[in-house]
Amino acid sequence: MNDTSFASRDSSPDESPPLHIEVDHMRCVGNAMCLELAPGVFAHNHWRQSEVVDPEGDNLEDILEAAGNCPTSAISVSDAATGKVLFP
């Protein structure tokens, strides 16, 4: 299985930058914490691993909270325009 990533095309109306979000499937254990904290962004695939379905589906705060609460540190978040790492 490959990593999944999804870059948003536009900035949100708020101050959130366009985001590039990745889930490392070598680390994801499918406990669904990210789905609980940012359900608009993450969903389980057929193998019960998280995938990014919409990088603009939740606000930046919730996305960073989801990344920070992943038990295996499988989620990384960066600014899609500048490449600046926002998490970890």
**Could you say whether residue 33 binds ligand SF4 (CB under 6 A)?**
yes
Contact between 35 and 50 under an 8 Å Cβ cutoff? The reply is yes
Tell me which of 5, 12, 31, 59 binds ligand SF4, using CB under 6 A.
31
- What element of type H or E holds 60? helix 60-69
Which residue from 19, 34, 52, 77 is in contact with ligand SF4, where contact means CB under 6 A? 34
Angle at 59 between CA 56 and CA 63, to 5 degrees: 90
Name the one range near ligand SF4 by CB under 6 A: 1-9, 53-61, 69-77, 78-86: 69-77
